[in-house]
């Protein structure tokens, strides 16, 4: 009897965890997004890129995002994929300098572009950086991020 109870309890807990993980995506804090302006998003993305702080960037990725990276990555990624792809990227490439030369905030696709210097395995180089936002469900999400 105890054994049966244990199995049922275990299955329930496992099932709950599975459901929780699945529903995780649907519990997005959109209210925060509505209040966040483009400025704040750009500022956070800038810091995230410079410090390799992926969470700071990916909290603004709410749908498929186009990533074009120096490491050869060039595709659309889901939000959860984007996190690990960027994490992998920043493990190899560290930005030592980031200059945003152009920003346009008043269009349907606000964007910022500039240049960056990086170091990777003792080698250094330059990157062209671009990121743009789009509106989904009334909130901003990063549509594109290029570091190439």
Partner 1 sequence: MRFSGNQLRFILPVFILLIAIILLQLFEPVLLNNKKKNWNKELNVKNELIEKSVKNIFNEKIDSLKFILNKVKKIIKNENGSQEKIIPLINQHALSKFSVVITDSNGEVFAWTRNILFNNFNPRNSNKINNVSITKSNLIVYLTYNGLLDYDSTAYYISVSLPLEKEYRLQNKYFQKISLTGLLSSKFNTQFEINYSGKNPHKNDGRYYSFFVENNNNKIALVTFKKPNFDINLNNYRQNLKNIKYVLLITVLLLLGVYLFIKLKELNNKAIKYFTLLSYLVILRYTVYVSGLVSSWQTSGISNPAYFSSSFAFGIVKSPVELFVTCIFVLVFVIQLYTFVLGISNKKTTVNKSVKLYFITTISLLLIFFLTYRGFAASIRSVIFDSTLVYFNDHSLFPNVTTGLMYINVLLMGFIFLLISFIILLIIYVFAKSVKNFNLTRFLLIQFFVFQLFGIFFDLVQNNPQGNSLIRILFVTFTFLLLIFHILSKHKKFIKFIYILFAGSAFSVILMIFYNNQLEKESLKIYARDLINPNDGWLEFLVRESLLNDFTRKEALEAFDNPSTNFDASAFKIWSKSSLQKESFISEIGFLDYNKKFLGGFGFRISELPGPNWSNLKNVLSDITIFKENLPNSGAKIIRGIFPVKNDYALLGYVEASVIFDIGNFGFAEPPEFLKAPPLHQKQIVQTGELKILEFINDSLKNVWGDIRISYPDVDKIDNIKLNKEHEAFRIINLNGANYKIYISQVIRNKKTKKIAVAIREKDLSFQIFNFFKIFFFHSLLILLIILIYFVYILSRKKEIKISLQTKLLIAFLIVSLIPLILLALYFRNLTEQKNKDAVFYKLGKRAYSIETYTNDHLTPEADNIYEVFEKASSELNINFSVFKNKKVSYSTESLFYEISLIPKLINPFAFNTIENLGAQDYITIDAVEKYKYNSFYYLANINHKYYIIQVSDAFNNISLPMSGNEVDAFLVASYSLAVLLVLILSSILANQISKPIRKLTQATVAVASGDLDIQLEEKAGGEVDDLIKGFNYMVHELKRNQLQLAEVEREAAWKEMAKQVAHEIKNPLTPMKLATQQLIAAFKDNSHKFENIFNKVTGTIINQIETLSKIATEFSNFAKMPSLKIERIDLRKVIKESIDLFLEESAGISFASELENVFIEADYDQLKRTLINLIRNSLQAGATEIEITLNSNEDSEHFDLRIKDNGCGISDENLPKIFDYNFTTKDKGMGIGLSLAKKYLEFIHATIQVEQTTNRGTTILIRFRKSK
The contacts of residue 36 (CB under 8 Å, 6+ apart) are 139, 140
Binding mask 15-54 for partner 1 (x = CB under 8 A): xxxxx-xx-x-x----------------------------
Q: Does 94 bind partner 1 (CB under 8 A)?
A: no
Instruction: Determine, following the binding rule CB under 8 A, whether residue 111 of this chain makes contact with partner 1.
Output: yes
- Of the pair 44, 144, the CB lying nearest partner 1 is at 144
Of the listed pieces 29-37, 48-56, 92-100, 107-115, which binds partner 1 according to CB under 8 A? 107-115
Q: Decide if residue 106 touches partner 1 (CB under 8 A).
A: no
Structural Rg of the chain based on CA atoms: 19
Alpha helix stretches (DSSP H) within the chain: 2-24, 30-35, 38-51, 54-58, 79-92
User: In angstroms, what is the minimal distance from the CB of 83 to partner 1?
Assistant: 6
Instruction: Using alpha carbons only, give the angle 57, 62, 68 rounded to the nearest 5 degrees.
Output: 55
Which residue do the tokens 């410090």 mark?
51
d(CA 89, CA 47): 16
Number of chain positions touching partner 1 (CB under 8 A): 56
Nearer to partner 1, 6 or 43 (CB): 6
């Amino acid at each position: 009897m105890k054994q049966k109870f244990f199995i049922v309890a275990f299955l329930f807990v496992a099932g709950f965890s599975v459901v929780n993980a699945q529903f995780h995506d649907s519990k997005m804090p959109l209210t925060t997004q509505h209040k966040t302006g483009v400025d704040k998003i750009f500022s956070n993305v800038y810091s995230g890129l410079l410090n390799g702080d992926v969470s700071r960037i990916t909290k603004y990725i709410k749908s498929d995002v186009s990533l074009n990276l120096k490491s050869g990555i060039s595709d659309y990624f889901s939000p959860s994929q984007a996190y690990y792809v960027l994490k992998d990227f920043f493990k190899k490439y560290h930005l030592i300098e980031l200059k945003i030369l152009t920003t346009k905030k008043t269009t349907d696709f606000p964007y910022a572009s500039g240049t960056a210097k990086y170091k990777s395995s003792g080698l250094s180089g330059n990157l062209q950086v671009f990121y743009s936002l789009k509106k989904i469900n009334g909130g901003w999400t990063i549509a594109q991020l290029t570091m190439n």
